[in-house]
Amino acid sequence: MKFIRVHMSEKTVVTETVPDAYRGIGGRALTSSYINDHVPADCDPLGADNVLVFAPGYFSGTPLINTSRLSVGAKSPLTGGIKESNVGGTVAASLASLGITAVVVEGMAAAGQCRVLEIDEAGNARLLDASDCQGMRTYALVEKLKAAHGENNSITCIGPAGEMQLAAASIQTTDLDGRPCRAAGRGGLGAVMGSKGLKAIIVRRSGKLADPLDDPDAFKAAAREYAKAVKADEFSGEILPALGSAALVAPINEAGAFPTRNAREGQFEGADRISGETMARIIRERGGKNAHKGCAGCIIDCSNEYVDPDGRFVTSSLEYETIWSMGGMIGNDDLDAIARLDHLCDDIGLDTISTGVAVAVAMDAGYRSFGDARAAIEMVEEVAAGSAFGRILGNGPAAVGRHFNHTRVPVMKGQSMAAYDPRAIQGMAVTYATSPMGGDHTAGWVVDQNLESFGGTLDRFSADGQVAASRDTQIHMAAVDSVGICDFAQSGLASPEGIANVYRMVAAKSGNPFTEQSWRELGLRVLRAERDFNRRAGFTPADDHLPRMFYEEPLPPHNKVVVISDAAMEKTFDF
Amino acid sequence: MKFIRVHMSEKTVVTETVPDAYRGIGGRALTSSYINDHVPADCDPLGADNVLVFAPGYFSGTPLINTSRLSVGAKSPLTGGIKESNVGGTVAASLASLGITAVVVEGMAAAGQCRVLEIDEAGNARLLDASDCQGMRTYALVEKLKAAHGENNSITCIGPAGEMQLAAASIQTTDLDGRPCRAAGRGGLGAVMGSKGLKAIIVRRSGKLADPLDDPDAFKAAAREYAKAVKADEFSGEILPALGSAALVAPINEAGAFPTRNAREGQFEGADRISGETMARIIRERGGKNAHKGCAGCIIDCSNEYVDPDGRFVTSSLEYETIWSMGGMIGNDDLDAIARLDHLCDDIGLDTISTGVAVAVAMDAGYRSFGDARAAIEMVEEVAAGSAFGRILGNGPAAVGRHFNHTRVPVMKGQSMAAYDPRAIQGMAVTYATSPMGGDHTAGWVVDQNLESFGGTLDRFSADGQVAASRDTQIHMAAVDSVGICDFAQSGLASPEGIANVYRMVAAKSGNPFTEQSWRELGLRVLRAERDFNRRAGFTPADDHLPRMFYEEPLPPHNKVVVISDAAMEKTFDF
């Protein structure tokens, strides 16, 4: 129950008791409340007034499975609004095991300064000079930091893109194998970390100082039930370990909702060559790893290690969103190239979604040809080289669109959509348009409610019920992101008994009653804070609209457009 | 009293009677009302929904002196808000002499199409293919068009920057000597013209179809009085013909208000070498022209022809704002280089203010050194070459700031301030911050009210009275820009008798009474339309704030910051 407060201008580190206003919350609830309370909404996101907050989910460090989720929050240089981006790996568990509720990074180093923050096994933190790490890519950086500080650390860091303060820069963090392959990718939070002159946070793993549970037995009983449900579910218990999130390629493409060649089409003719089934077979044949464990406390094992034909490591973990952004979205059906691009982004410290979409926009503008994977690799390498074009690309798809005066740019609030075309899954139109996060799938993933094959009951081409579905899911996800349960472990809370276990665990940790009503209030608290910040940052209802291309260009093969009006979108947050 | 309505998508040209709503107004009143009424505020400024309106001032084509001012209006790709930019030369007189109240350009050509609009001596207009003009710089373009269409034309056109749709692209128009050296520079309206695929408008000069005056004798009597006052005034009658607008270099630098090296200082040690006195002497010694007549109906002759040491033409007219942006602002005291940069901008079709400030921001970010004129020339040439960096520069200072993550960017609503530092002339802080135009000096030039040497009575370092002064001047200027009197001929309306002559002339043209109250209502009508558009485009009170640098960095030699608060700024339009 402590904050580590780091001031980069003054080079001070202070440990303090968690202020009352932030007790009993974690993850996104903590980061979004804190940012809304303390960051001037009109500040420069890359200036000294912005604050970068790292907060494990409320359940991190407890016996519940799949809760090593770290929320990172700040004002986003990509959207100009508030941002929370969360990530797995081991860092959330490590921080929570040291009783650290949040690391709050304030101020701004003088230009050219480069520091790391080290947190030891007693939970003490200190800032160290890291001039010798300046400009390093993340994989080499992590090796160097492990050599100096020991293997038994979680390392959360930025690459050259973050140091250059590019708006699509990610924050990378290490998985169970100590590779910086997990990304808090969205919103350019790596640029905020770069602006603060903070290259990495090194946290000793396996601390013994976790916050106590009020009723450990009750917690563990509910946690056991929860884990059982996750194991019993077909998607989290069988499909994800077998194929990873790439399992989605086939059904989303089949649904005509797989944005292809900068969302000119909804089906990619090369989908079979980049599907989860193909990926798992290639990995198996080459001696890589499927059903790999990437995050602390995980029982799903959706991760993988993708290897080249000689069995050498290429990347981990190859995920659905990246296979889309570096595959269908740029017309590329070469899975080896996708894996290479995924690794490059992790190594340079770039969001794979924004970067792939930025490449797609450049190709759509005629800068290179769709399907030219070598050109894509060269373009991403340019980001690391810091060339004029590289910096534009590293600032994301909206910057690329501005550069080429190209208007087919599938972004909302400056951030690209993800791998579900809203014209074929109307519910995603609402989430993309209205989420305070900008274009984002995890903020309100209503794909399952829209697709019959996923058990959905909504007509995916109709507006009926979509605003309500997105609203409820956004409220729910704001709460999920606050307790810090992995998205893929949501099978554990899908049933009334499952979600009741979550309420029981919150109560068993805090000692206070927690009900269905409390859950909704938690989600609403988060969204209200985020909406309040964005309004003060200058957002208006017009910022909750989709780009016109989704209304004007029918998407093959179904040839539908978005049918939810701007006025209907604006009702999403009438609560 | 007719509109020429051009639809670039449909390739149609229609002549129609002026709609009732736009009768009896001209210039900025017409463009801003029309844009607010007809352009969707949330549209893509470079898309088919934007409308580009060319409207001579209400007095253009009358016997009044110094009224060949053309207002160009559209949604701006630079500010994202409404824009009016006005320009001299001969085109406004030519249009008005043909009885044309406005040319309204709608729709958007298919990519790669390039057309010119020709308006003949009968006022008939037609669209012609101009594929052979694609990519041409303005000086060569004008020669080519004059060869094909005759010398006796006013030519209004864009260069490569406009064709590339860059946000600092200007619209250039010919002076009395037929050179495309007059610029509607601000707001990137050249990019809008480029997006419409319209390379030039060719208007036959000396038409005989001007709208009739209701009472020609009364008009002429007032016009004579007006001209007399302009001639009698020291500034417009003596200083401007002698030194041009460059006369301002010495007093503004003396006041410590001459933004130097990206506004790090308020005095430039090289000011003497780029002053109006020095310029006039060099021109005289080399056989160039001072007291040159640039615009139709001008009796001031503030223009000049700057020549090289061998007496060859370099540019016309070298003006104060350009001497600042390409001189002090980039730390350059080489007047020959400034003249070269001025010509380059005219030729490529770039706003000299935005471009100079963009170069200054790049230098401030460490990309090149202050004072390196050769580097500045190379950078501007890169715009024409269309390189990645060139396109960034051509998108103006805010784009350069984003590119380098450099926050010292003196822009308001995305558009750079002009040559008066608001820390040394507080009244300009209000105009820069609150004008619906973005950073702009002509929208509310209160320099004279702030400087004792100009007869000012306000304390230039104090907030007292500045909001009221800027408010009243903005209202006044909105009316001036609507009747279309040249800024430098305002000496004619500075006295109560002078402005009464203006009221008399409006009445004598229209046949309706026109009073002091009508004048104020005209200005308010314009500002209200512009504010309404901007609000609907998503602007909030936060968009009426200044960049923090003006509050945080004291400006040498007086070491003052802006002392007018955000809250005070927001009261500017409480009317």
Q: pLDDT digits over B209-229, tens only?
A: 999 999 999 999 999 999 999
Specify whether the CB–CB gap between A445 and A425 falls below 8 A. no
Mean pLDDT of B431-452: 97
Q: How far is CA B483 from CA B223, B294, B521, in A?
A: 13, 20, 13
Residues of A in contact with B391 (CB under 8 A): 403
Mean pLDDT of B106-122: 94
> Amino acid letter at B150?
G
Specify whether the CB–CB gap between A161 and A170 falls below 8 A. yes
Q: Which residue of A has its CA nearest to B165?
A: A405
Amino acid A575: pLDDT: 75
Judge whether A413 is closer than 8 Å to chain B, CB to CB. Answer: no
Contact B392 A403 (CB under 8 A): yes
Contact A543 B543 (CB under 8 A): no
Mean pLDDT of B315-336: 98
Joined together, the tokens standing for residue B155 give 């030519």
What is the torsion angle, in degrees rounded to the nearest 10, for the CA atoms of residue A86, residue A91, residue A92 and residue A95? Answer: -140
How deeply is B10 buried, as exposed, middle or buried, from its count of CB atoms within 10 A (0-12, 13-18, 19+)?
A: exposed
Q: How far is CA A233 from CA A169, A227, A329, A494, B121, in A?
A: 35, 10, 31, 10, 80
* Non-local CB neighbours of A12 within 8 Å, separated by 6+ positions: A6, A127
CB pairs under 8 A between A and B: 59
Amino acid A303: pLDDT: 98
Rg, chain B, Cα only: 22
Amino acid B189: pLDDT: 98
CA–CA separation, A271 and B19 (whole Å)? 56
Q: What does the pLDDT look like over B493-536, one tens digit per residue?
A: 999 999 999 999 999 999 999 999 999 999 999 999 999 999 99
**∠ CA A298-A118-A147, rounded to 5°:** 80
CA-closest candidate to residue B38, choices B77, B5, B85: B5
- Concatenating the DSSP letter of every residue in B327-360 gives TGGGT---HHHHHHHHHHHHHHTB-HHHHHHHHH
CA-closest candidate to residue B109, choices B8, B5, B7: B8
Give me the residue from A165, A387, A538 closest to B405, CB to CB: A165
Q: What does the pLDDT look like over A137-152, one tens digit per residue?
A: 999 999 999 999 999 9
Cis peptide before B557 (omega within 30 of 0): yes
3-state secondary structure B529-566: HHHHHHHHCCCCHHHHCCCCHHHHCCECCCCECCCCCH
CA-closest candidate to residue A193, choices A323, A70, A295: A70
pLDDT band at A111 (very low <50, low <70, confident <90, very high): confident
Judge whether A461 is closer than 8 Å to chain B, CB to CB. Answer: no
Judge whether A543 is closer than 8 Å to chain B, CB to CB. Answer: yes
Mean pLDDT of A493-499: 95
CA–CA separation, A118 and A200 (whole Å)? 8
Residues of B in contact with A405 (CB under 8 A): 46, 164-165, 191, 195
Amino acid B155: pLDDT: 98
* Non-local CB neighbours of A315 within 8 Å, separated by 6+ positions: A181, A305, A306, A339, A340, A342, A343, A346
Amino acid B437: pLDDT: 98
Amino acid B206: pLDDT: 84
Contact A405 B195 (CB under 8 A): yes
Amino acid A110: pLDDT: 87
Joined together, the tokens standing for residue B44 give 């893509």
Residues of A in contact with B164 (CB under 8 A): 405
CA–CA separation, B4 and B16 (whole Å)? 7
Domains of chain A and CATH, by start: 2-204 (3.60.9.10)
If DSSP codes are grouped into helix, strand and coil, which group holds residue B457? coil
Contact B407 A44 (CB under 8 A): yes
Mean pLDDT of B527-556: 95
3-state secondary structure B119-178: ECCCCCEEEEECHHHCCCCHHHHHHHHHHHHCCCEEEEECCHHHHCCCCCECEEECCCCC
Judge whether A40 is closer than 8 Å to chain B, CB to CB. Answer: no
Could you tell me whether strands A198-204 and A115-119 are parallel, antiparallel, or unpaired per DSSP bridges?
Answer: parallel
Cis peptide before A317 (omega within 30 of 0): yes
pLDDT band at A63 (very low <50, low <70, confident <90, very high): very high
Judge whether A9 is closer than 8 Å to chain B, CB to CB. Answer: no
Mean pLDDT of B237-258: 97
Q: What does the pLDDT look like over A359-387, one tens digit per residue?
A: 999 999 999 999 999 999 999 999 999 99
Strands (E) across B266-383 are located at 289-292, 303-307, 313-315
CA-closest candidate to residue A98, choices A169, A168, A2: A2
- ipTM field: 0.75
Amino acid B81: pLDDT: 98
Mean pLDDT of A161-176: 98
Contact B402 A387 (CB under 8 A): no
Q: How far is CA A241 from CA A231, A238, A277, B534, in A?
A: 11, 6, 12, 52
Provide the shortest C-alpha distance from residue B423 to chain A (in Å).
21
Rg, chain A, Cα only: 22
CA–CA separation, A232 and A247 (whole Å)? 18
Contact A399 B395 (CB under 8 A): no
pLDDT band at A298 (very low <50, low <70, confident <90, very high): very high
Judge whether residue A217 has pLDDT over 90. Answer: yes
Judge whether A538 is closer than 8 Å to chain B, CB to CB. Answer: yes
pLDDT greater at residue A574 or residue B550: B550
CA–CA separation, A88 and B189 (whole Å)? 48
Half-sphere exposure of B566 (CA within 13 A, CB side): 11
Residues of A in contact with B537 (CB under 8 A): 542
pLDDT band at A206 (very low <50, low <70, confident <90, very high): confident
Q: Which residue of A has its CA nearest to B191?
A: A405
Answer left, alpha or beta for residue A188, where phi above 0 means left and psi between -120 and 50 means alpha: left
Q: How far is CA A485 from CA A222, A304, A345, A478, B486, in A?
A: 14, 20, 25, 11, 66
Contact A538 B537 (CB under 8 A): no
Could you tell me whether strands B52-56 and B100-106 are parallel, antiparallel, or unpaired per DSSP bridges?
Answer: antiparallel
The mean predicted confidence, pLDDT, of chain A is 97
Strand partners, A100: A2
- φ, ψ of residue B55 to 5 degrees: the values are -140, 120
pLDDT band at A529 (very low <50, low <70, confident <90, very high): very high
Residues of A in contact with B44 (CB under 8 A): 407, 548
CA–CA separation, A253 and B45 (whole Å)? 34
Provide the shortest C-alpha distance from residue B386 to chain A (in Å).
10
Give me the residue from A392, A405, A540 closest to B388, CB to CB: A392
Joined together, the tokens standing for residue A348 give 């340079």
Amino acid B442: pLDDT: 97
Place of tokens 């004129």: B373
Cis peptide before A40 (omega within 30 of 0): no
Could you tell me whether strands A100-106 and A2-7 are parallel, antiparallel, or unpaired per DSSP bridges?
Answer: parallel
- Neighbour count for residue B286 (Cβ, 10 Å): 16
Q: What does the pLDDT look like over A424-483, one tens digit per residue?
A: 999 999 999 999 999 999 999 999 999 999 999 999 999 999 999 999 999 999 999 999
Give me the residue from B389, B537, B542 closest to A388, CB to CB: B389
Judge whether residue A235 has pLDDT over 80. Answer: yes
Amino acid A284: pLDDT: 97
CA-closest candidate to residue B401, choices B353, B365, B433: B365
Q: What does the pLDDT look like over B68-90, one tens digit per residue?
A: 999 999 999 999 999 999 999 99
Amino acid B428: pLDDT: 98
What is the torsion angle, in degrees rounded to the nearest 10, for the CA atoms of residue B533, residue B535, residue B541 and residue B546? Answer: -40
* Non-local CB neighbours of B8 within 8 Å, separated by 6+ positions: B105, B106, B107, B108, B109, B115, B127, B196, B197, B198
Contact A392 B387 (CB under 8 A): no
* Non-local CB neighbours of A567 within 8 Å, separated by 6+ positions: none
Residues of A in contact with B388 (CB under 8 A): 387-389, 392, 403
Mean pLDDT of A115-134: 97
Amino acid B405: pLDDT: 86
Judge whether residue B112 has pLDDT over 90. Answer: no
Residues of B in contact with A402 (CB under 8 A): 395, 399
Q: Which residues of A414-441 are buried (b: 16+ CB within 10 A; e: fewer)?
A: bbbbbbbbbbbbbbbbbbbbbbbbbbbb
Helices A27-38 and A516-536, axial angle in degrees (round to 10): 30
pLDDT band at B544 (very low <50, low <70, confident <90, very high): very high
pTM here is 0.87
Provide the shortest C-alpha distance from residue B22 to chain A (in Å).
29
* Non-local CB neighbours of B121 within 8 Å, separated by 6+ positions: B98, B204, B207
Interface test with A, best of B405, B407, B408, B535 (most A CBs within 10 A): B405
Amino acid B565: pLDDT: 94
Mean pLDDT of B179-183: 98
